[in-house]
């Protein structure tokens, strides 16, 4: 069995996922043996095994979502994002970060608004061609600065039309690993070349930079994430190709969006292979605006394709170094 994993790792993980999916089809909702789930081990094993185990837990969370929807709906149109106190839930309870990052999870950047949770920074550090895109810089570059500090060769492409560059959080000695443009991220390119501000799709910027992958993608674009990600993901769902990034750090601005519309958008993310492994409400916004927690940070791993977080790990030499 071990030799099969080594010779055909991509086919092996596909087979394992198919077998797991078959089990979930055959086992009706609510019939899980909870003690068995609790005894399952996530530690150790090949990356394929860790991802497959985490997908089991995530599928259980999907069934829990349906149960919660039936309880407080019963249809998505009946669910309020932030109901009165007689209903003990918020929209975020339907979308827990139920997937496990298969590596270490670290918080980078300020502990206040602006920091992000990252999966497997040690894996990015070992990538010979580590590429990071950051949309939404504003007045805080502590996240980008710590990414540069904790890696030796990762390079960052930053975009924000509201500022002219990264902040002084990034020292001059590391500026050579950054590239900044005052562009905005959108679902489609803005027509012509004189539009202000200039807007580009993610694929257009990747083509412009000569990139075929992104190891870490940060998006904080004040509510435009819904249209942007929908336009980005559609072609990949149609073609069956994996998304071109390994993980996504995203601030979601739900504001007054109806629950049913948000659910459809979120299920599109899941269908494209994105799985949330961390979430954190933006309590700075709650305190500042005296409002409901409409802004929440999510971190996703892309479980599809051969990216830095899903590809089989290289064997270690006896002294601990990687081959």
Buried b (16+ CB within 10 A) or exposed e, 135-159: bbbeebbbbbbbbbeebeebbbbbb
pLDDT tens digit sequence for 248-276: 999 999 999 999 999 999 999 999 999 99
Mean pLDDT, to the nearest integer, of 318-322? 50
* pLDDT of amino acid 317: 52
What is the rounded distance in angstroms from the CA atom of residue 196 to the CA atom of residue 8? 50
**Which uninterrupted H or E stretch holds 216?**
strand 216-219
Q: State pLDDT tens for residues 93-112.
A: 999 999 999 999 999 999 98
Mean pLDDT of the chain: 87
Range 174-181 average pLDDT: 96
Contacts 24+ apart (CB under 8 A), 62-65: 62/270, 63/29, 63/30, 63/32, 65/94, 65/95
Instruction: Give CA–CA dist 255/263, Å, rounded.
Output: 14
Give the pLDDT confidence score for residue 114 in this predicted structure.
Answer: 87
Kindly state the average pLDDT of the residues 279-298: 92
Joined tokens for residue 54: 């985490």
Please return the burial class of 295, using the count of CB atoms within 10 Å of its CB with bins 0-12, 13-18 and 19+. Answer: buried
Candidate from 25-34, 232-241, 308-317 with smallest mean pLDDT:
25-34
Outline which parts of the chain fall under CATH 3.40.50.150.
98-302
Average pLDDT over residues 54-59: 97
How is domain 98-302 classified at the CATH fold level?
Rossmann fold (3.40.50)
Quick one: average pLDDT of 108-134?
94
Please name the residues in contact with 83: beta carbons below 8 A apart, sequence gap of 6 or more.
Answer: 72, 89, 90
CA distance linking residue 175 with residue 125, whole number of Å: 18
Query: What is the pLDDT, as a whole number, of residue 42?
Result: 47
Pair type for strands 295-302 and 199-200? unpaired
CA 104 to centroid of chain Cα atoms:
15
Contact (CB, 8 A) for 281 and 291: no
- What pLDDT score does 237 carry? 97
What pTM value is reported for the model?
0.84
69 by Cβ neighbours in 10 Å (0-12 / 13-18 / 19+) ranks as middle
- pLDDT, one tens digit per residue, over 15-43 is 554 444 444 443 444 444 444 444 444 45
Share of the chain above pLDDT 90, in %: 73
Task: Please report the pLDDT score of residue 259 as a whole number.
Answer: 98
Tell me the mean pLDDT in the region 114-137. 95
């Amino acid at each position: 069995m071990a030799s099969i994993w080594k010779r055909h790792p991509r086919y092996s993980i596909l087979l394992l996922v198919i077998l797991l999916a078959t089990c979930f089809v055959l086992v009706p909702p609510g019939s899980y043996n909870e003690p068995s789930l609790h005894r399952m081990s996530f530690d150790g094993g090949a990356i394929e095994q860790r991802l497959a185990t985490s997908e089991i837990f995530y599928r259980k969370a999907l069934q829990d979502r349906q149960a919660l929807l039936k309880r407080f709906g019963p249809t998505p149109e009946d669910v309020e994002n932030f109901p009165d106190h007689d209903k003990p839930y918020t929209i975020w309870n339907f979308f827990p970060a139920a997937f496990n990052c298969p590596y270490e999870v670290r918080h980078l950047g300020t502990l206040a608004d602006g920091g992000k949770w990252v999966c497997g920074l040690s894996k990015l550090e070992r990538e010979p061609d580590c590429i990071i895109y950051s949309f939404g810089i504003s007045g805080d570059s502590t996240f980008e600065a710590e990414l540069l500090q904790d890696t030796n060769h990762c390079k960052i492409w930053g975009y924000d039309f509201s500022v002219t560059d990264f902040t002084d959080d990034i020292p001059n000695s590391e500026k050579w690993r950054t590239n900044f443009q005052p562009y905005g991220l959108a679902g489609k390119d803005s027509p012509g070349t004189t539009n202000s501000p200039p807007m580009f799709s993610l694929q257009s910027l990747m083509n412009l930079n000569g990139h075929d992958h992104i190891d870490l993608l940060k998006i904080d674009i004040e509510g435009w994430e819904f249209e942007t990600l929908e336009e980005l993901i559609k072609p990949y769902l149609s073609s069956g190709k994996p998304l071109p990034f390994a993980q996504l750090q995203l601030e979601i601005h739900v504001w007054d969006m109806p629950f049913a519309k948000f659910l459809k958008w979120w299920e599109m993310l899941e269908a494209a292979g994105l799985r949330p492994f961390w979430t954190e409400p933006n309590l700075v916004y709650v305190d500042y605006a005296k409002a409901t927690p409409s802004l929440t940070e999510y971190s996703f791993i892309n479980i599809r394709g051969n990216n830095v977080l899903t590809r089989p790990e290289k064997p270690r030499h006896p002294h601990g170094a990687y081959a």
